[in-house]
Structure 1
Amino acid sequence: MASFILWLHGSGDSGPANESIKEHFTDPVFKNTKWGLPTAPSRPITINRGAVMPAWFDVTDVPITSQSVRHEDEVLKAVKDVHSMIDKQIANGISPTNVFVCGFSQGGALAVASILLYPKTLGGGVIFSGFIPLNPSIKEQVLPEATKTPILWLHGTDDKIVLFEAGESGSKFLQGLGMNCEFKAYPGFGHSLMDEELEYFSSWLRSRLLSSGGVQQRRGCCSQM
């Protein structure tokens, strides 16, 4: 059964620069997986003295904490673009339960915002060193279908860009909505993607696909998967 992984990069990065992430997805269950690695529009970033770079929304303070300013209007605009990407894949025949929205740092923040505001239950979301980029009042707009989407949140304890407490706070916010959010701390890790995290990412997605209806049936006749 086909699946789709949408990967959202951090600020100043690009989609093509993250192609190597695919190298962690060699299991046969990912044989029919499509990837989306879009690049954010270029914009001036306040924290970088107005320098123009790819970013999903502006950043005005670093480190990012659970109390940092939320540029909600810009985030919501980016969420609409992500929803369009998801809608296109579903229209092409991929089941929502086989759609995964993932990202690092600012991309992780956009991923979780997009999942919270999507009107359907998705296969899952994986957040690396992210944060909740919306104000707490957003919970009033979260539909029951969205709260059924499982989340994996990975965060290094020595992250100096998006503080560990911002990740913990974000995870607790999701759990407060009744969501299944696994929070995995990595002692000593900073603000970067590490192989250990990416391997767990791959394993987690694999288990989600194997637990979905269509792939589970295949598992019964192909135990090596």
Structure 2
Amino acid sequence: MPLAIIQPTAAHTATVIFAHGLGDEGESWRAVISGDYDYRKPGELTIPAHLPHVKWIFPDAPEQAVTANFGTRMSSWFDISNLPLQPGQYLKKEFEDDESVKNGVQIIDDLVQAEVKDGIPESRIIVGGFSQGGALALVAGLGGKDWRTKSFGDENKLAGVVVLSGWMPLRERFKSRISPHAKSMPVLWGHGTADAVIYYKVGEVSVELLQDQLGIVKHTADDQLGAPGINFRSYERMGHASCKKEMEDLVTFLGSVIPQQQTPNL
């Protein structure tokens, strides 16, 4: 599978696996995270410089027909029958194909297990994503053995989940398939109030469903990033994109849940 990677510059003690959105590729998010798009002030550190111990993996989704785009083949983690996602539609039916969601989760799960094999414990691995990739990360991060069949997810716990401009897919089946660790999982959920692809309200409703139906704690914007539960962060006037403040929140979250570890003296 094609991968874009940012290698750590210090001892490798944690990994972030980040899934791109529909029709995109991993290289796009490698560029965002590495600071190729110059939004920084002179002397300001890049995200990888803030987290030198972290390896970043940005996989490419397989090409497949996407019903929402009239069956056009494109990079996609799973098939979806409707876009944009608006709150009224979201609450009426499921738009995601169950089997292809499972296939997407297995891609992420294989990457998790490859990192574990290389010596990074699952408790030091984050799964995240943007838009469709964020929806996939939510399933991969909170899902139990019905989804994470390669790692027997009920017995393992990731360090946390990052959902940027995403939603809860397969909402009518989600509750029956979650991991026993779901309630204690730290989740950063960022969403722009001007998102016209995955509407902001869809993100809000998704978090409310996770709170009401699954008992997952929803934190306020003033609460510390990295605590168990979902910290939902709104970004005013941001569309279906990311912004500097969201990236700053991402660094804070990752620094909390996968802090740099001191190398023991030998």
TM-score range, shorter chain: 0.7 to 0.9
Structure 1 contact 9–104 (Cα < 8 Å) conserved: yes
Q: In the alignment, which residue of structure 1 is the partner of 2:52?
A: 31
User: By how many angstroms is 1:27 displaced?
Assistant: 4.2
Secondary structure of 1:37's match? strand
Q: Is the 8 A contact 2:48 2:54 kept in 1?
A: no
- Name the CA distance, whole Å, in 1 between partners of 2:34 and 2:175: 33
Paired residues of 1:128 and 1:155 also in contact (CA < 8 A): yes
The one of the two structures with greater contact order (alpha-carbon pairs below 8 A, sep at least 6) is: 1
1:60 is aligned to 81
SS for the counterpart of 2:129 is strand
- Report the AA paired with residue 35 of structure 1: W
Alpha-carbon distance in structure 2 between the residues aligned to 1:192 and 1:185: 12
Give the equivalent residue in structure 1 for 2:215.
178
Q: 8 Å contact 1:124–1:149 — kept in the other structure?
A: yes
Q: Is the 8 A contact 1:70 1:135 kept in 2?
A: no
Measured after TM superposition, the shift of residue 97 of structure 1 is 1.8
Bigger shift: residues 87-96 or 44-53: 44-53
How much does 1:49 deviate? 2.4
Question: Is the counterpart of residue 125 in structure 1 residue 161 in structure 2?
Answer: yes
Kept in 2, the 8 Å contact 1:152–1:182? The answer is: yes
Contact 2:207 2:230 in 1 (8 A): yes
Give me the TM-score of the superposition, normalised by structure 2. Answer: 0.74
1:171: how far off?
A: 1.4
- Structure 1 counterpart of 2:14: 3
1:222 matched residue in structure 2: none
Which position in structure 2 is the counterpart of 1:102?
A: 128
Which ranges in structure 1 are unaligned for 5 or more consecutive residues?
Answer: 220-225
| Alignment deviations for residues 104-147 of structure 1 (CA, whole Å, 9 cap, x no partner) | 00000000011121332211111110011123332122121233
Take 1:131 and 1:96, find their aligned partners in 2: how far apart are those partners?
24
Letter paired with 1:205: L
Aligned: 1:16 with 2:52: no
Structure 1 length normalisation: TM-score? Answer: 0.87
From the two aligned structures, give the one with the greater helix fraction.
Answer: 1
Question: Which stretch shows the higher mean deviation, 169-178 or 94-103?
Answer: 169-178
Q: Does 1:92 align with 2:128?
A: no
User: Is the Cα contact below 8 Å between 2:79 and 2:96 reproduced in 1?
Assistant: no
Name the structure 2 match of 1:134.
170
Task: Decide whether the 8 Å contact of 2:131 with 2:166 is kept in 1.
Answer: yes
Q: Give, in whole Å, the separation in 2 of the partners of 1:22 and 1:150.
A: 24
Aligned match of 1:197 in 223, 246, 251?
A: 246
- For the aligned residue pairs, the C-alpha RMSD in angstroms reads 1.9
Q: Which moved more, 1:191-200 or 1:65-74?
A: 65-74
Whole-angstrom distance in 1 between the partners of 2:179 and 2:129: 22
Q: Percent identity?
A: 31
Residues 165-205 of structure 1 show CA distances to partners (whole Å, capped at 9, x for unaligned) of 11112212333423300111112111112222112111211
Distance 1:137 1:58 in 2: 16
Instruction: Report the CA distance shift for 1:134/1:31 in structure 2 as closer, same or farther (over 3 A).
Output: same
Q: Give secondary structure in 2 for the equivalent of 1:161.
A: coil
